[in-house]
Amino acid sequence: MTMENRKDEQKENMNGEMDLDGMPPEEQAQPGGRLHRFRKGVFIVPSLVTSAAFFCGFYTVVASINGDYYKAAWAIILAMILDGLDGRIARAMGATSNFGVEFDSLSDLMSFGLAPAILMYNWVLQPYGRLGWMAAFLFALCGALRLARFNIQQSDIRKDHFVGMPIPAAAWLLAATVLLTNGALEMEKAPGMVMLVTVYTLALLMVSNVPYRNFKYIDTKKRRPFHLFLWIVLFLFIVALFPHHMLFAMAAAYMLHGPVEWFLSWRKGADDPTPNPEEETSGPM
């Protein structure tokens, strides 16, 4: 199939004449068709977990409007935990579906795009007027673009890396900043200009080509040394002892590691370029 024919077929799909598999509507409704399969039901447990994450995002919006920023930030952290669980539960139950993938993306947009943007605007960005609400809007917009790009690239890119900063990680840093400020430092607000620059930076990192590690694909079934287990237990103990500080430190470290690794890789390529065969053979004989 040529590229032009593929584009025409996609346009027909968008107009409702065919679904993404190129199946006419009358065939979709027949037994075995996509609509028939959808009418048979959805997987309840993964969808309920995704719905809970969606609720956390909605609660963040409500709490932000009411000025309860501390609870709003914790709701984003809880949404992150639920977002990490729904996919694993679906795979463990053999309950993966296209519906679940699309629903999860919409939940991510609410919990990690719109919710943290409104939280930041009500918390520190509102005094900056147009510059402030444009920062919040850009964060939500770039989050939506990040999710859309991920959905169409997930089968074409390396599984151990993301292209651009993941939207949950960007929301995590903003929520952790609120928790550190209100919960540990006992400050009402973080410096407004610092947060303004941070929000703009996170928005740009989400739509950048900077690679970020994907820790979901770490092989947990492989045997590891016993001392590594002890280090992990110690790390979790420190997180439980200083949750506000550690959540912020981990989020900041993850944000920075992408640009740092990208720069080191670029620097290594600049210092040790691949020799050009034509240059090697073009010297005097």
Count Cβ atoms below 10 Å from residue 218 Cβ, excluding itself: 9
- Strands 161-163 and 211-213 come out as antiparallel
Separation of CA 254 from chain center: 12
Tokens 């089968």 found at: 155
The whole-angstrom separation of Cα 168 and Cα 82 is 11
Q: What are the residues facing 162 on neighbouring strands?
A: 212
The one-letter code for the residue type at 89 is: I
Name the DSSP letter for residue 275.
P
Domains in the chain, ordered, with CATH?
A: 41-263 (1.20.120.1760)
Q: Global pTM?
A: 0.76
3-state secondary structure of 211: strand
pLDDT tens, N- to C-terminus, the chain (285 residues): 544 444 444 444 444 433 444 444 444 444 444 544 545 566 788 889 999 999 999 999 999 999 999 999 999 999 999 998 888 888 888 877 888 888 999 999 999 999 999 999 999 999 999 999 999 999 999 999 999 988 887 555 556 678 889 999 999 999 999 999 987 787 888 888 999 999 999 999 999 988 888 776 666 667 778 778 888 888 888 988 898 999 999 999 999 988 888 888 877 776 665 545 444 444 443
Q: How far is CA 2 from the centre of its chain?
A: 33
Q: Distance between CA 258 and CA 99 in Å, rounded?
A: 31
